[in-house]
């Protein structure tokens, strides 16, 4: 089926009008919802979580946390292996 230039122009202009209407609607919706807050990338969130986990693991066990809370010196009351006993 052969389309003449006039029909092609009418179809093209109609499609352009539809796209412009859709774009205008999209902009209205975007303006009505307000600015979008930027989200952090997943790798940054995951990295921060791993850092926090590492710090908690480095802090030690519950006993070490209790000792710090009570003000007990590090290693006090613990046997040191290989030390001379008197």
Structure tokens at 51: 């850092």
Distance CA 12, CA 3 (A): 12
Contact 65, 74 (CB under 8 A): no
Long-range Cβ contact pairs of 25-32 (< 8 A, separation 24 or more) = none
At 78, is the pLDDT very low, low, confident or very high (cuts 50, 70, 90)?
low
Which residue do the tokens 């790798």 mark?
43
- Rounded distance, CA 85 to CA 81, Å? 10
The domain locations on the chain are: 1-33, 40-71
* Weakest-pLDDT range from 4-8, 21-25, 64-68: 64-68
Q: What is the pLDDT of residues 22-44, one digit of tens each?
A: 999 999 998 888 777 778 899 99
């Amino acid at each position: 089926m052969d389309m003449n230039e006039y029909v092609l122009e009418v179809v093209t202009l109609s499609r352009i009008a539809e796209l412009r209407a859709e774009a205008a609607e999209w902009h209205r919706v975007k303006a009505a919802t307000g600015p979008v807050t930027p989200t952090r990338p997943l790798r940054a969130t995951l990295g921060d979580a791993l850092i926090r986990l590492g710090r908690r693991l480095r802090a030690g066990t519950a006993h070490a946390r209790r000792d710090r809370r009570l003000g007990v010196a590090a290693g006090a009351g613990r046997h040191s292996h290989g030390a001379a006993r008197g």
